[in-house]
Amino acid sequence: MYELAQKGLKAALSMGADEAEIFIGEGHGTSFDIRKNEIEGAKESTSQGLGIRVVINGAVGFASTNIMSRIEDTAKNAVSSAKVRESDPDWKALPSDEKYPNVSGIFDTELKNMELDDCIKKAIDMIDGAKTVSNITVTSGNFSRGFGKSLILNSNGIEIEEMGTTVSGFVDTITNKGETSTAYDFEISRNNDIDFEIIGKNAAELARRSQDAISIDPHKTNVILHPFAFSDLLDSTFVPSIDADNVQKGRSNLINKLGEQIAAENISIIDDGLLDGGIETGRSDDEGVASQRTNVIENGVFSSYLYDSYTAGKDNVKSTGNGSRSSYFSTPSVGTRNFIVDVPGSDIIEDTEEGIFINTVIGAHTANGISGDFSVEARNAFTIKDGMIDKPIKSLMISGNMFDMLKKIDGAGNDLRKVGSTVTPSIRIPDMSIVG
Amino acid sequence: MHSVDFFDARIVEGTTTSIVLDNGKIEQVAVNYTKGAGVRALCGGSWGFTSADGDFDIDKAIASASELAVSMNDKSPKENAKLKEIDNPSVTDLPKVKIDPQDISLEEKVRHLQEIGSYAQKDGISSSSAVYSESAVKVTYIDSNGTKGEYDLIRTGFAISAVASENGVYQAGRESRFGVTGYEIFDQSNAEELAENAANTALELLSAKPAKGGSMPVILDPELAGVFAHEAVGHASEADLVLEGSSILENRIGQQIASPLVTIIDDPTMHAYGYYPFDDEGSQARKTTIIENGVLDSYLHSRETAEKLGGVPGHSRSQGNSKPVVRMSNTYIDSGNSKFEEMLEEIRDGIYLIGSRGGQVNTGEGVFQFNAEKGYLVENGELTGLIRDVSLSGKTLEILNNVKMVGNDLSMNSGRCGKSGQLVPVTDGSPHLLISEALVGGA
């Protein structure tokens, strides 16, 4: 891998690149799809590929391939794509001089070497978990286990290699007797520490509890959003506004708001590339900048945008280690690392006289990522009466604005949960509009 | 080596080029060349699947998929799966490409895109972006029954978006066209005018009022009605979802499930973005009528689901090297004979919903939600105030039955559809629809 990257780097520089960067990604995965209470089959995938970024006279070009033997052709394509561009005055340089911190909990040998039998057993555990609840069918589901490696090399001396493992489980369940209702649950981890039976059981119980739903009239009330619902909304309505690229392009609601109170006082949000065992944890980001912890909101005060090295250069600040690539065939852009919502918790349902508890929402991605306005369908929603979950609700839409919501948050649960890379408890917002 | 009942392999080789402009400035130029294979093997009722990237050894991949299938069948045996037999696909009606995008220089493409993008940079627009992409793929299919097929396909397209802002309010407009055509797509779709439209939408939305939610009669424009046809009906007609018990259309074939005015078709042979000559398991592409005059006529099938439920395969697709799943292609509600003016007259008071910013559907419960790009209040049969942040939600079967008028103005929109973590090119479309009652969500 290392020799190949060296070869690519040399090729790019000899073709006229002033700076060059090679990113190599490699992945091996095993997964099983579940269909109607049965494991449908086994999948094994291997992926590998490389992306080359070159800079010529301040213009950046990029090319990628998954045919490793074509590394020199790819360097040539990257060079010609740089040559059609004019010099970019905002381009500073590829990263250099980074000191990498140590991270932990992202590689588990057990996961890397897990045998097919063990994987199958975990997938069956999810189905069995769901079967502990009567009249439930697992409609679909998935178990996946993966091992990945990446290497970044650039002409400024950056060399960083990383390895990691992940495992995840997901099930979708439906009731097969009485009123039809559905629910899902999932978990993802870097270590072999997931209880797969619980995933099935949780989804099944939720589908079951959502039966015999009532209709409600439109009104304003306390709404508690489960970590699934809150993280989904946060991703679509808040995250785009802290992306420095959107800010620099005038597409953010948080332009010129640094230092302002934008959320209730007891709310902090941290972007953390170093979280022990985090899904987005690593020693560096995807362009070789050392990972760090960045306070985005500190006690309600907006403290930082998130930067990759290009946007940081443009604002004359240091990258926050948020250069992110979805794959070897994409150039880096700003992306969150582990995104942690920190609000003091309590027995939030018990503390709520009256209101609504919402497990998941559908349609969050249709929200307005600039203004923060959203209007989504709530799923597996329940009324809360006298501090207890009361009745399931048939059909419910909630709408509002994330930035108004952040200021109004008046409580959180003790149920901190890793929803992929977002870490959040349940969140309570008073006086929200709901349409039944 | 193969103690399996069936195996197949799909080899995909392709080059993509993409250009991204931001406010007229090139933000990205990228060229990607990839090759890979997706190999399936079936043993009893268990599938093994292997995907390989780059320089792979196809025999090894087949052996590895077979091994997985055999060992799955040992460890969790289930009812044998059978596949519908198919003939060798014929590739006779490939779209003709007038201008091969690979014959145009990168410099010229950049210059051209910059020119088009400049039409979106109107007064009041705070930022705009333009994206161009082209791909040329070669797909080769073989299976253990001797089926063979091969085709080359070129796809091109572009998208323009514009953001307007005023007093901390941001609104966006977006237009795009993607198709199985060559570089001529720019001329065919009048790209300059589309860029202006994107800017105009963003600008006019600044002064639009948020909608007031509630249950009311609505008119859907062809784009939003097309999204409904795809999201709410099309997905529920996918036979894999029917089989796993998560479709409201299960056991409904032959039943009247919609207003007799409604006919919904999925047609992969149409020369639009969702086109393919044969699907990703070698089945000839065929036009399928899902709903005919309100009666559920057919699900969409793979070879396995067609055998199980009785049907015709031809709707199994995959992205890159992934495992094929049942998918749509070009999905539309067929034209009726009402004019838009007649709908306004009929509705009297309600909302006219235009465009789509995406949506989601729960096919098991038959509920959906999607956000319109914008809308107009209809008062006394006339379009009055422009509204924004408006969404439509409801129960699929109720909406299908509440269709009171179907327009004569079918038009299609291109996009990509996600399922099982895979994106595939599709189009969806419809004429204008009048729905007597639907749940509209607002701010």
Residue numbers of B between 408 and 437 with CB closer than 8 Å to A: 420
CATH (domain of A74): 3.30.2290.10
A146 and A165 in contact (C-beta within 8 Å)?
Answer: yes
> Best residue in B4, B10, B53 to probe A by mutation, most A CBs within 10 Å?
B53
Could you identify the residue written with the tokens 């040998």?
A109
Nearest CA to CA, how far is B338 from chain A (Å)? 30
pLDDT for residue B443: 54
Q: d(Cα B408, Cα B426) in Å, to the nearest integer?
A: 22
Is the Cβ of B58 closer than 8 Å to some Cβ of chain A?
no
Interface confidence, given as ipTM, is: 0.78
The CA distance from B332 to B330, in Å, is 7
Question: What span, in angstroms and rounded, lies between the C-alpha atoms of A347 and A350?
Answer: 5
CA distance B15 to chain A (A): 9
Instruction: Say whether A64 and B30 touch across the interface (CB within 8 A).
Output: yes
Q: Measured between beta carbons, which residues in chain A are less than 8 angstroms from residue B213? A: 218, 375, 397, 399, 435
Please return the burial class of A113, using the count of CB atoms within 10 Å of its CB with bins 0-12, 13-18 and 19+: exposed
For residue A59, which amino acid is it? A
Mean pLDDT of A209-224: 95
Q: What is the pTM of this model?
A: 0.85
Q: How is domain B6-207 classified at the CATH fold level?
A: PmbA/TldD fold (3.30.2290)
Using a CB-CB cut-off of 8 Å, the residues of chain A touching B33 are: 63-65, 67, 70, 73-74, 77
Mean pLDDT of all residues in A69-86: 92
Tell me whether B401 touches chain A (CB under 8 Å): no
Q: Are residues A217 and A196 in the same domain?
A: no
A246/A350 same-domain check: yes
In total, how many domains does chain A have? 2
Q: Which of A203-212, A275-284, B352-361 has the lowest mean pLDDT?
A: B352-361
* Residue A178 shares a structural domain with residue A313: no
- All residues of chain A having their beta carbon less than 8 Å from the beta carbon of residue B393 are 363, 377, 395, 397
User: Which residues of chain B lie closer than 8 angstroms to A181, CB-CB?
Assistant: 365
* Residue at which a domain ends, from A140, A175, A207: A207
Domain ranges for chain B: 6-207, 210-441
Check pLDDT > 70 for residue B1: no
Boundary (domain end) residue, out of A180, A207, A234: A207
Mean pLDDT within B54-68? 92
pLDDT tens digits, B170-199: 889 999 999 999 999 999 999 999 999 999
Of A181, A207, A233, the domain-final residue: A207
Does the structure show a pLDDT above 70 at B2? no
Judgement on whether residues A171 and A274 belong to the same structural domain of the protein = no
Q: Which of B54, B107, B443 sits opposite A48 (nearest CB)?
A: B54
Tokens of B353: 């919903």
pLDDT at B98 > cutoff 50: yes
Does the distance separating the beta carbons of B172 and A45 come in below 8 Å?
no
Asked whether residue A321 falls in the same domain as residue A195, the answer is no
Scanning the structure block, which residue is given the tokens 């797909």? B139
Q: Kindly give the interhelix angle for B191-206 and B106-118, rounded to the nearest 10 degrees.
A: 40
Give me the mean pLDDT over the A183-194 stretch.
97
Residue A219 near chain B (CB below 8 Å): no
Quote the DSSP letter at residue A366.
G
Within this chain, do residues A330 and A405 fall inside the same structural domain, yes or no?
A: yes
What is chain B's mean pLDDT, rounded? Answer: 94
> Does A341 share its domain with A430?
yes
Which residues in A407-431 are b (16+ Cβ under 10 Å) and which e?
Answer: eebbbbbeebbbbebbbbbbbbbee
Q: How far apart are CA A379 and CA A382, in angstroms?
A: 9
The answer to whether A105 touches A283, Cβ cutoff 8 Å, is no
CB contact under 8 A, A64 and B168: no
Structural domain for A338, as ranges:
213-436
A144-175 pLDDT tens trace: 999 999 999 999 999 999 999 999 999 999 99
Confidence band for A368, pLDDT divided at 50, 70 and 90: confident
Find chain A residues with C-beta within 8 A of B369's C-beta.
362-363, 366, 376-377, 397
